[in-house]
Amino acid sequence: MRDSPRPPSRREVLVAGIGAALAPSLSALAQTPTTGPRMLTRPIPSSGEALPVIGMGTWQTFDVGGAANERAPLAQVLQKFFASGARLIDSSPMYGRSEAVVGDLLKQSGQQQTPFLATKVWTRGKAEGAAQIQASLQKMGHGRMDLMQVHNLLDVDVHLPVLREMKAAKRIRYIGVTHYQRGAFDDLEKHIQGSKLDFVQLPYSLAMRDAEARLLPAAKEHGVAVLVMEPFDKGNLFRKMKGKPLPDWAAEFDCSSWAQFFLKFILGHPAVNCPI
């Protein structure tokens, strides 16, 4: 009589699951050039344009004054950001002076890599929205913008037609919507399915996996790129793991920090383009 096969251990199940999830990313990495910054890219479904898989948000961090001692550290952050091969910078009029600070620092930096600039419209009314969008174009992009999103779906049915007109006129390249609350997921899904979006921005992390149920599959089905906000659950993931070592098996998928672990989990989902 043959012995029954040994059931897999918890570690083996986790390694197999994460490894399978990361397989598309690792395959993409194997196909990237060996010269210059080596950051994974994933295609924007609506265009095929390659976008680096790590982006940067600007909420609070870039809302600073004009003093050199306030801006110098942010200039260094941007320098390291671009040196890593990253491109996407996300902002909003909600974030105080962040749009203008990003725009000023980019203009002063003289860096050669073209950033992928993303911001949002966050007001009510067609005229008010158009004025805010124009202000953002000038503050952050000095006349150009890659992605314009409707922030938290505020007056979305008024702003989306305006964004579509601007995209058709080639004043912006992509359009999208965002929301941070679980209670808005039904509305996000509706727009993913029916609003011909290029992007959706939503919360997703090891601590908050609700988007896996319907939003991420819907985005994959309808060809909508996914930007992930709050990839570290507002820092709660780091607080929970403080003082705890990574499991030994994390090294098996080239992971040497909890930040990498959390990001690799997010990028393990094939619908995700870029956590910020």
Identify whether residues 128 and 197 lie together within a single domain. no
Predicted pLDDT of residue 8:
38
194 in a domain, yes or no?
yes
| Domain housing 102 | 47-139
150 in a domain, yes or no?
no
Q: In a 10 Å sphere around its CB, with 0-12 CB exposed, 13-18 middle and 19+ buried, how is residue 114 labelled? A: exposed
Tokens of residue 20, six digits: 């399978």
Which residues contact residue 15 at a Cβ distance below 8 angstroms, ignoring those fewer than 6 apart?
A: 249, 252, 253
Alpha helices in the chain (DSSP H): 10-30, 68-83, 98-109, 126-141, 156-168, 185-194, 215-222, 236-241, 258-267
Say whether pLDDT at 231 is over 80.
yes
Identify whether residues 135 and 193 lie together within a single domain. no
Q: Which residues pair with 227 in a beta bridge?
A: 201, 274
Say whether pLDDT at 268 is over 50.
yes
Say whether pLDDT at 70 is over 90.
yes
- Relative to beta strand 41-43, strand 50-52 is antiparallel
Query: What's the whole-number mean pLDDT along residues 182-194?
Result: 98
Given 139, 160, 189, which residue is the final one in a domain?
139
Identify whether residues 271 and 184 lie together within a single domain. yes
Confidence of residue 146 (pLDDT cuts 50, 70, 90): very high
Say whether pLDDT at 25 is over 70.
no
Say whether pLDDT at 23 is over 50.
no
Q: How many residues does the chain have?
A: 276
- The mean of the pLDDT values for the chain is 89
Given 90, 121, 139, which residue is the final one in a domain?
139
Identify whether residues 192 and 271 lie together within a single domain. yes
Predicted pLDDT of residue 131:
98
166 in a domain, yes or no?
no
84 in a domain, yes or no?
yes
* Nearest CA-CA partner of 123 in 165, 145, 92, 146: 92
172 in a domain, yes or no?
no
Given 80, 114, 139, which residue is the final one in a domain?
139
Predicted pLDDT of residue 109:
87
Q: Are 212 and 186 in contact (CB under 8 A)?
A: no
Identify whether residues 80 and 133 lie together within a single domain. yes
| Phi, psi angle pair for 147, to nearest 5° | -130, 130
Tokens of residue 182, six digits: 């679980």
Confidence of residue 34 (pLDDT cuts 50, 70, 90): very low
Specify the number of domains making up the chain.
2
pLDDT in tens, 91-126: 999 999 999 999 999 999 876 679 999 999 999 999
Say whether pLDDT at 137 is over 80.
yes
Q: How far apart are CA 243 and CA 32, in angstroms?
A: 35
Say whether pLDDT at 59 is over 50.
yes
203 in a domain, yes or no?
yes
250 in a domain, yes or no?
yes
Region of residue 85 (phi > 0: left; psi between -120 and 50: alpha; otherwise: beta) = left
